[in-house]
């Protein structure tokens, strides 16, 4: 059985009802929101859906037993479909008083399972207003927002494995599983280039394995090219990127037809 937070709901301003998302019905356009996860990365709903992705939201709180039991399956979903690089985009959100970044990180480390973990948002990252806006009454609540910003699935429950989420996908939505590219790959495995630091304010060193003419292209998580430049016969390149906080993909293509892609984070 899900946890119903009668006292907490008085604080969060939610109401109790049969549906877990009480503020919207299936087909309603949901309000836009921007949240900041525990890594300091911003996620804006309408920007994500504009790229054609379905957003699977997880409303939870850290001491909720059912949340603890199902979090590993949610992270498996995140991992299985490309860690937000594919057609499925996942965000965990808590608005519960006391659920700070530190508490959420501890929750993920304890209950998140052996997968790449979904971005998680605490009360410090704007979690409470979003929880209020959706009118969440029981936890966990898993729902799906379609690319047209409408509520496609009001609640996914019960959850016994990752297939529980897949069975709840809207009719006609059949995303392809894709490999989740890890952050922080060792430079020893680099075939074309290494970059450091992988988390920065925008000042990044790009070191080619061999000196060559190269083109560096950078893409946002939504697939938009946000930077492109060519370099002549340089092995060590210093970039000062003026980009918003977020996760980005860097592609380096050299004149000898080598290509490699890596991820990095702008704080």
pLDDT tens-place string over residues 95-145: 999 999 999 999 998 999 888 899 999 999 999 999 999 999 899 999 999
The pLDDT of residue 53 is: 95
The 10s digit of each residue's pLDDT in 170-183 is 999 999 998 776 44
Query: For 38, which DSSP code?
Result: T
Residue 232 structure tokens? 């002549």
Instruction: Compute the average pLDDT of residues 205-229.
Output: 89
Q: Please, what sign has the CA dihedral across residues 204, 227, 50, 260?
A: negative
For each of the domains in the chain, give its residue range(s) and CATH number, in order of start. 6-167 (3.40.30.10), 187-266 (2.60.40.1220)
Q: Which residue has the tokens 């704007």?
A: 126
Three-state DSSP class for 67?
helix
Whether 263 contacts 232, CB under 8 Å: no
Query: What's the rounded Cα separation, in Å, for the pair 18 and 101?
Result: 30
The DSSP line for 199-234 is: EESSEEEEEEEEEEEEEEEEEETTS-EEEEEEEEEE
Whether 68 contacts 111, CB under 8 Å: yes
**Confidence label for 39 from pLDDT (cuts 50, 70 and 90):** confident
Residue 120 structure tokens? 């998680």
């Amino acid at each position: 059985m899900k946890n119903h937070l009668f006292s907490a709901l008085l604080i969060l301003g939610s109401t109790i009802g049969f549906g877990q998302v009480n503020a919207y019905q299936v087909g309603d356009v949901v309000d836009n929101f921007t949240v900041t996860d525990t890594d300091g990365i911003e996620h804006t709903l309408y920007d994500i859906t504009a790229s054609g992705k379905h957003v699977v939201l997880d409303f939870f709180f850290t001491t909720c037993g059912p949340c603890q039991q199902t979090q590993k399956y949610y992270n498996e979903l995140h991992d299985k479909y490309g860690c937000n690089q594919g057609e499925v985009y996942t965000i965990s959100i808590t608005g519960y008083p006391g659920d700070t970044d530190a508490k959420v990180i501890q929750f993920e480390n304890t209950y998140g399972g052996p997968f790449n973990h979904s971005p998680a948002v605490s009360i410090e990252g704007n979690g409470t207003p979003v929880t209020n806006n959706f009118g969440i009454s029981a936890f966990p609540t898993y729902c799906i927002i379609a690319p047209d910003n409408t509520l496609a699935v009001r609640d996914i429950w019960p959850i016994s494995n990752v297939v529980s989420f897949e069975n709840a996908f809207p009719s006609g939505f059949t995303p392809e599983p894709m490999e989740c590219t890890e952050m922080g790959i060792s430079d020893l495995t680099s075939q074309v280039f290494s970059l450091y630091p992988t988390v920065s304010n925008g000042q990044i060193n790009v070191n080619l394995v061999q000196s060559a003419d190269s083109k560096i292209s950078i893409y946002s998580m939504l697939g938009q090219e946000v930077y492109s430049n060519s370099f002549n016969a340089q092995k060590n390149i210093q970039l000062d990127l003026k980009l918003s906080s977020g996760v980005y993909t860097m592609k380096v293509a050299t004149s000898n037809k080598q290509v490699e892609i890596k991820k990095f984070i702008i704080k």
